[in-house]
Structure 1
Amino acid sequence: MEFLLSHGANINEKYQNSVTPLCLTLENKNQKLALELIELNADISLTNLSGESYLHIATRENCKMIVETLISRGLNVNAKDNKGGSPLHIATRMNFNDIMKILLKNGADPNAICKNDTTPLYIAAENDSKEQTELLKSYGADINSKLKNGINALFLASENNNVEASQFLISEGIDVKLIDKSGKNVLHYAAGKNSFNVINLFVSHGVNINAKDMYEKTPLHYAAINDCTKAVESLLSHGAAVNIKNKIWKTPLHYASERKYKDIPSFRFTKDNNLMARTIEKSSETVEVLLSHGADIYAKDKFGKTAYYYAQQCGALHIYNLIITKFWLE
C-alpha cells in the first residue's frame, strides 16, 4: 500500500459513483485494510453520491471496529445522507444492536428524523424489537412523537403484528388511543394488515373496537376489505358490530363479497384451475365468518345494493351460493 502511494497513487481517487478505495474496502467488509487506509490519512470526510459518509457505510456493512475508529477521529455521528438518514437509522433497520449502542453512547440522536418522517424508534417498532425500543428510550427517544399523518410508533408495530414492541411501548406510556389525521386508531391499522395477535392487546387497553374513521369505516370494515379472516374473527370475538355501516352504508359483508374477487378473472384463463379454486375458497372464509356472526344479507348500501348483488357482479359463485344458502335457511 505504502509503495503504491509513494509512487503517486491517490488514496482518495474516486471511481464510478464517487466510490473511493476506502469505500470499496468497507463494502467488502475488509476492516483491517480499511483501518490501514485510515492510518495512511485517507480523507474520511468524503461522501458518496447518495450523501453517505464513511460512518453510514461502515454501519451498513456492520464494521464495528471502523465505526469506533471513525467516531474517535471526529466523524459526525449524526451526519445525514440525501434522504435524511443517519447511521443510527441504518443500524436500527439492520438490527445491528451493538453498533446502535456505540452510536448512542457517542451522541447519536435517537429522535433524528428522515425525510420520510421516520425516526429510529419507528424502525424498532416495525422490527418488533423490545431490545431496540428499550435502548432508544433509555437514550431519550420520544415514544409519543408523531409522523405527519398523526400516527405514533405503536401504529407501525400494530401493522406488523408486533406484540412485544407494542407491549413495551404501552408500558412506557405511549398513547394507545391516538387517532391519526384520517380518524383511524391502531385497530384500524392492525385489522387492515391481518395483525390479529395485537388486537387483543389493544382492546384490553380500551381502544374503541367500533371506532369510525373519516369515511365511517370501522376496523372490521378494513379487515373485510383486505380479506383478513383472522383479524375478522378476533374483532368479532371482542364484540365488533358485524352490521355496522360506513358513509355509503356498506357493511363489512358488502366489502367481503365484492373486493376480493376482481383479480379472479385473470385465473380463469390459465391452466391452473386448482389455483382459481384455492383463491375462491380462501377469499370466502371471511364471508363465512361474517355470516356465522349474524351478518345481514339483506342490508343495502347507499346505492340500494346488497352483498348478494356484489358477489354476483364479481363472479364470486362460492360467495353467491353461501348467501343464497343463508337466505333459504332463514
Structure 2
Amino acid sequence: MSNSSEESDSLSDLNTEQSTSSHWPDSYTDYITGDSEMDFFASSAEDEDSKNKLISLCSSKEISLKKLKQFVEKEGANVNFSNNKKNTPFLRLCKNPKVTPKLVQYLIKSGSDCQHQNKYHHTSLMNLCSNRSVSVKLLQIIIDNGCDPNLKSEHGNAALAYLCLNANVTPKLLKFLIQNGADANCKYNCDETSFSLLCKNRNVSKELLLVLFDSKADPNLVSYHKNSPLMNLSENIHLNFEKKKSLFQTLIECGADPNQRNRNGDHFIISHCQSASVNSKILRLFFNNKWCQFAALNKPKENALFHLCFNRKITLEGMQILIEAGSELLNLLIKNGADITQKDSHHCNCLTRLCSNKKITKQLLQTLIDHGADVRATDRFYKDNALMKLSENESLTPELIQILIKNGIDINLQDRDANNALMYSLPK
C-alpha cells in the first residue's frame, strides 16, 4: 500500500468497494491511514521521509532513544523540520508502531511542536489514535502538551474517529480521550459519529459501546450514507451472529431505535434486506424480540420483500443463506407482515424482481407464488412480465419456466416493442 493512504483520509471509503489494493487491511483504520506495520515502514522508505534523516529515523522500525539523541544533540537536527507534506519528525513518530513514551517525551523536551498539523491537517493525536501502539500514557503526554482532541483533518475527522476505528481500541483509551475533551457526539466526515464508526470496528464490544453511552453519545444519529449504528453493526463482516446478537441488545438498551428510518426512508429491516450481509438469523432476532413495528416493512412502493428479492450484492456466505435458506427469509418477512401483493411505481412486484436476480432458485420462486404473489404482474412502462425478465437471466432453467407457466404466466405477452419471452431469450 503506498503512502497515498495519507490522502485517503475520507471515511466515505469505508462504504465503497475498493479494487485498487492487493489485499484487504486488518482494520478499517489500516485502510484509511496505512497503519499496519508492514505498510507503514514500506511506505516510509519510498516517501519524502527518506530525504530527511530525522524524519526517516522517526519513521523507521530501527528507531531508538540513543539514535534519536545522536541526531538531535550531536548532529543538530531540526526537530520541527517539515517535508513537502508538512510532516515533521514528531508527526511521523506518533504514527510509528514502535513509538514509546520515552521517545515522545524526548522530542517534546527538544522543542517539537505537538500542535503542528500536516498538509492534510492531521495532528500528532490523530496519528497516535490510529496507531496500534496507542496507550493512555502516550495520549496523556500529547494532550498535556496542548494538542486539541477536537481538531479535524481536511476531511473532517477528529482523533476520536480514528480511535473508534482502531482495532486495538480499549474502553480505557476511549474513556480517557472523551474525559480529556473529545466530543462524543461530534460529526465527522460524511456525518459519521463515534457510535457509527465503532460499530464498524472488527473488535467492537459491549464495554466499548457502554463507554460511549455513558458519555452521552447519541446512538441514533444517521450518517450521510444513511446508515445508523444498528445498520453498520449488521453489516460488520468481522463479527459472527452471536457477537452481533449481544451487541444489538446492548445498542437497543443504550437507546438505539430499531424502528428508525435512514435518509432514504428505509426501516432497519428494509436496509438489511438490501445488504450483502443479509442474514435470516438477524431478521428472526428482530422479529422474535418485537424490536420492529412490522407495518414499517411496507414502505410505500417498495417493501422489504422487494429488496430481498433484488439483492445481488452478496458475499459467499450471504449467497449460501439466500440459496439454502432463502425460502426461510421470505417466510419470515411474509409471516411478520410484509405485503406480498405490493407493487412499485412500475407496477412490478417482488416476484418480478426475483426473476431479474441471478441468485433465483426454484424454492424462492415457489415460496412467493405459494404466498400469493401475482404471476401476471407487468411493468406499466415496458409492458414486460416475470417470464421476460427471467428469459434474460443467466440463471434461467426449464424448471423455473415451468413454475411460471404452471401458475398462469402469459407466455405470448408482448412488451411495448412487440417482443415476447422467446425473443428476450435469444442471444443479443
TM over 0.5: yes
What is the rounded CA distance, in whole Å, between the counterparts of 1:208 and 1:31 in structure 2? Answer: 51
Q: Secondary structure at the match of 2:355?
A: helix
Greater Cα offset, 53-62 or 21-30: 21-30
What is the rounded CA distance, in whole Å, between the counterparts of 2:267 and 2:376 in structure 1? Answer: 30
* Shift of residue 302, structure 1, vs aligned partner: 4.0
What is the rounded CA distance, in whole Å, between the counterparts of 2:151 and 2:263 in structure 1? Answer: 32
Report what 2:4 is aligned to: none
Q: Kindly tell me: are residues 43 and 302 of structure 1, through their superposed partners in 2, closer, same or farther at Cα, counting changes over 3 Å?
A: closer
Kindly indicate whether the alpha-carbon contact (under 8 Å) linking 1:25 and 1:34 is maintained by their aligned counterparts in 2.
yes
Tell me, yes or no, if structure 1 residue 163 matches structure 2 residue 280: yes
Report matched runs for 1:21-100 at 5 Å: 21-32=124-135, 33-62=138-167, 63-64=169-170, 65-95=172-202, 96-97=204-205, 98-100=207-209
Structure 1: unaligned runs, 5 residues or longer? 261-279, 316-330
Can you list the C-alpha shifts for 1:74-124, whole angstroms capped at 9, x where unaligned? 321111113111111101122512422221222110111222332212223
Kindly indicate whether the alpha-carbon contact (under 8 Å) linking 1:149 and 1:180 is maintained by their aligned counterparts in 2.
no
Report what 1:253 is aligned to: 387
- TM-score for the superposition, normalised by structure 2: 0.62
Letter in 1 for 2:271: L
Report what 2:294 is aligned to: 176
* Shift of residue 35, structure 1, vs aligned partner: 4.2
Report matched runs for 1:1-330 at 5 Å: 1-32=104-135, 33-62=138-167, 63-64=169-170, 65-95=172-202, 96-97=204-205, 98-127=207-236, 129-160=244-275, 161-170=278-287, 171-178=289-296, 179-181=298-300, 183-193=301-311, 195=322, 196=326, 197-230=328-361, 231-247=364-380, 248-258=382-392, 260=393, 280=394, 283-285=395-397, 288-293=399-404, 294=406, 295-312=409-426, 314-315=427-428
Greater Cα offset, 234-243 or 55-64: 234-243
Letter in 1 for 2:211: I
Kindly indicate whether the alpha-carbon contact (under 8 Å) linking 2:165 and 2:200 is maintained by their aligned counterparts in 1.
no
Q: Secondary structure at the match of 1:79?
A: coil
What is the rounded CA distance, in whole Å, between the counterparts of 1:290 and 1:132 in structure 2? Answer: 43
Can you list the C-alpha shifts for 1:154-202, whole angstroms capped at 9, x where unaligned? 1122223222332233333423343335x01110010101642421101
Q: Kindly tell me: are residues 45 and 302 of structure 1, through their superposed partners in 2, closer, same or farther at Cα, counting changes over 3 Å?
A: closer
Can you list the C-alpha shifts for 1:21-74, whole angstroms capped at 9, x where unaligned? 222222221123344433444332322222112111111113223211111223
What is the rounded CA distance, in whole Å, between the counterparts of 1:104 and 1:143 in structure 2? Answer: 16
Letter in 1 for 2:165: R
Give the aligned length. Answer: 290
* Shift of residue 2, structure 1, vs aligned partner: 3.0
Q: Kindly tell me: are residues 35 and 163 of structure 1, through their superposed partners in 2, closer, same or farther at Cα, counting changes over 3 Å?
A: farther
What is the rounded CA distance, in whole Å, between the counterparts of 2:111 and 2:125 in structure 1? Answer: 17
What is the rounded CA distance, in whole Å, between the counterparts of 1:54 and 1:193 in structure 2? Answer: 36
Q: Kindly tell me: are residues 167 and 50 of structure 1, through their superposed partners in 2, closer, same or farther at Cα, counting changes over 3 Å?
A: same
Letter in 1 for 2:307: Y
Greater Cα offset, 236-245 or 159-168: 236-245
Letter in 1 for 2:415: D
Can you list the C-alpha shifts for 1:250-295, whole angstroms capped at 9, x where unaligned? 221111113x4xxxxxxxxxxxxxxxxxxx5xx223x631323424
Q: Secondary structure at the match of 1:147?
A: coil
Q: Kindly tell me: are residues 27 and 149 of structure 1, through their superposed partners in 2, closer, same or farther at Cα, counting changes over 3 Å?
A: closer
Report what 1:263 is aligned to: none
Q: Which has the higher helix share?
A: 1
Report what 2:49 is aligned to: none
Can you list the C-alpha shifts for 1:124-166, whole angstroms capped at 9, x where unaligned? 3444733332222112222222234322111122223222332
Can you list the C-alpha shifts for 1:204-253, whole angstroms capped at 9, x where unaligned? 12322232111111111111112231343442354433333232432211
Letter in 2 for 1:202: L
Kindly indicate whether the alpha-carbon contact (under 8 Å) linking 2:150 and 2:181 is maintained by their aligned counterparts in 1.
no
Kindly indicate whether the alpha-carbon contact (under 8 Å) linking 2:221 and 2:228 is maintained by their aligned counterparts in 1.
yes
Kindly indicate whether the alpha-carbon contact (under 8 Å) linking 1:216 and 1:245 is maintained by their aligned counterparts in 2.
yes
Report what 2:101 is aligned to: none
Letter in 2 for 1:180: K
